[in-house]
Structure 1
Amino acid sequence: MGGAAGIPGSRRGRAPRAGNAGTGGVSDSATGCALVTGGAGFIGSNLADRLARDGMRVVVLDSLARPGVERNLAWLESRYGDRIERLVGDIRDRRVVAEAAREAQVVFHLAGQVAVTSSLEDPVEDFEVNLKGTLNILEIARDRRVPVIFASTNKVYGDLADIDLELVDEAYLPVDRTIRSSGIGEARPLDFHTPYGCSKGGADQYVLDYSRSFGVPTCVMRMSCIYGPRQMGTEDQGWVAHFLIRALKGETISIFGDGRQVRDVLFVGDAVEAYLSAWRNIEAVSGQAFNLGGGASNAVSLRRLVAHIEDLIGRRVDLEFHDWRAGDQRYFVADAAKARGALGLAAPVAWREGVAELANWLRSEGAAAPKPLEVASL
């Protein structure tokens, strides 16, 4: 996601106006301002691109701490000029957040500490970024009465160890046919595992409670695996892109577990549509959480994804297997029916089509893609 944590203070400035303010009929007379925290990250930059293309001014609050995200921000600035306003800073600093949000009509809060592994190494940092940072966002939103759309995670449901699974075609699937056909719904009890699960889960609940307790218009997106262009996959996040990067480079892919774990994957354009619809419909959906993923039709095991990558690149991919990690889910597929109904979402992009599009984007990046790390996690 990129993040607005890790650099004290802030550095704010407009980019010079580009000769071409992007595509999609952006009007210079368009008004309105949105704040996207973590806006230089993968999902954030795609969301900022859509907002700016639709004519809004976008404040991107990001620490630029994640490798590769500076390139995303430069790309946005080159397309939209002073429609993109960068603010390099830390969401743990409330003054920075207040400055970033002073003209915002909506806050899309995507900044955060994103890795289970990092949370185990430094749980205090994880807590401060994900919980204190989110509380800062909420307090500023409460003062200014602006909506907050928050990027949560499927990790709030824990490891789902109580769901009986069976192996079907080299993939773990629920024995319960209802779960198998529809996935995990929002009625599933929350069960926070690992410091990351606790910090994101706590933030998730704070966002919902600020709607109940203070009347702040809020909405929570509990995301499955989002993938697509501008994703700089690493060991800690972005496994679909990470697998593709290593395969395209002819390098070995390392997998934690046996590769039969199943996830539903969602193309980033579909995720952006959900965030925008939540904002458009905030009066109706305020105080609600939605599972946001590709659903059963876009559920895929790691092994099956690797096989598809092999078809795309025309050669075999070497795999190395490692022990399971703390908090790993052998199965998670989101039941996105609530989100589709409440937010009026179209059917998601089919995973094979989306992965092919991501592969083409990565090829077009060439040597500009960041050097991948040695391992990958979910």
Structure 2
Amino acid sequence: MTNLASSSAPIVITGGCGFIGCNLADRLATRGDNVLILDSLIRAGVRENAQWLKSRHGDRITIAVGDIRDPITVIDSIKPAKAVLHLAAQVAVTSSIDSPMDDFEINARGTLNVLEAVRLHNPSAAMLFASTNKVYGRLIGNDQIARNGQRYQPIDPAMRPGVSEAAPLDLYSPYGCSKGAADQYVHDYARVYGLKTAVLRMSCIYGPRQFGTEDQGWIAHFVLSALRGTPLTIYGDGCQVRDALYVADAVDAWLAVLDGIDAARGRVFNLGGGPSNAISLLELIDLITPLAGPVSFGFADWRPGDQPWYVSDITALNRATGWQPRTTFADGLRSLHGWLAERFAQASGREALA
């Protein structure tokens, strides 16, 4: 196992002021690592996350404002790094459909900038990439799923343990294409150039520090809508299923791969909550109601690339690192609700005083 903590060189996190990135930065700094965050600070909530990190860790965390589309900025950040966790991305399918060129430049070209900076200037550094389950496309046709109560499930029982890394890629939507291209570049740079890369294809990660929107972070978005009393739009019929993973468990997985990179290099792993943490949109609403009150919602057409059912098979990651989720969905949802309710109350108080 690689002892990354033995060096004072920083671990670079691109997009480190985002939801998962700031939780990773917090954990790394807490265990004694120096962290350099490269973030454009253009998304909602990231400046608040940046202030939170600095208030907790001071000089152990350095925040560099920059864009991964600028190769010089990327090189300057990565040259001194002992590892790179690459999470900076355009994250919304809807935005990719509206602006496919921007989506490509950030997700595909930006990732290639990171890889080239590692290859040419710091080839001994580990590099982990935040990929997505969207690289698998829709996965399952309407004739291959059946409705069971408020959720879909595959008719074929062999699929119910989840989708493994052996599933063929079917890049659907510009977002799926850009992330899929980046995913394959990261995988191939381990094979062709011998870099210490690994890919984590993530399902639905949720938890504190997540500022959910309709386009990204749907669990937090549903909770926030209930707290605010604003109606939701459900695209599709609400029976679509995802496996959800609490962010602290996701951080555990990232660090397990990072610290074990000598064995994990060149590997691709699905990262999610697995079958025991799978939930449909309608089921989530039923769980939110006792916590945050009634949820008002309506329906709209399915969106391009929407998956009626996706559950991660996390066996490969467990076998490689020993990792497995520890937080039940009920416990994780209570934690997320508590954080959002406190922050929402504080924000309402500030507005009332203004």
Q: TM-score range by the shorter chain?
A: over 0.9
Residue 97 of structure 1 is matched in structure 2 by 74
For residues 218-277 of structure 1, what are the alpha-carbon distances to aligned partners after superposition, in whole Å with 9 as ceiling and x for unaligned? Answer: 000000000000000012100000000010112212111110000000000111111111
Say yes or no: does 1:224 pair with 2:198. no
Task: State the distance in 2 between where 1:161 and 1:296 align.
Answer: 17
Residue 118 of structure 1 is matched in structure 2 by 95
Q: What code does the residue aligned with 1:164 have?
A: Q
What's the % identity of the aligned pairs? 51
Residue 352 of structure 2 is matched in structure 1 by none
Say yes or no: does 1:310 pair with 2:319. no
Cα RMSD (Å):
1.4
8 Å Cα contact 2:35/2:61 also seen in 1: yes
Q: Report runs of 4+ in structure 1 exceeding 3 Å deviation.
A: 367-370
2:257 aligned counterpart, secondary structure: helix
Task: State the distance in 2 between where 1:58 and 1:302 align.
Answer: 36
Query: Shift of residue 153 of structure 1?
Result: 0.1
Where do residues 1-378 of structure 1 align in structure 2 (5 Å cutoff)?
A: 31-143=8-120, 144-145=122-123, 146-162=125-141, 164-180=144-160, 182-313=161-292, 315-367=293-345
For residues 130-175 of structure 1, what are the alpha-carbon distances to aligned partners after superposition, in whole Å with 9 as ceiling and x for unaligned? Answer: 0110001001111211111000000000011347100111110001
Task: State the distance in 2 between where 1:283 and 1:369 align.
Answer: 45
Q: What TM-score comes out, normalization by structure 2 length?
A: 0.94
Task: State the distance in 2 between where 1:95 and 1:89 align.
Answer: 10
Task: State the distance in 2 between where 1:367 and 1:357 align.
Answer: 16
Aligned residues: 340
The runs of 5 or more residues in structure 2 that have no matched partner are 1-5, 349-354
Q: What code does the residue aligned with 2:157 have?
A: R
Q: What code does the residue aligned with 1:260 have?
A: C
Q: What TM-score comes out, normalization by structure 1 length?
A: 0.88
1:152 aligned counterpart, secondary structure: strand
Change (3 A) 1:281 1:259: same
1:119 aligned counterpart, secondary structure: helix
The runs of 5 or more residues in structure 1 that have no matched partner are 1-28, 371-378
Query: Shift of residue 32 of structure 1?
Result: 3.6
2:108 aligned counterpart, secondary structure: helix
8 Å Cα contact 1:362/1:369 also seen in 2: no
Change (3 A) 1:51 1:95: same
2:230 aligned counterpart, secondary structure: coil
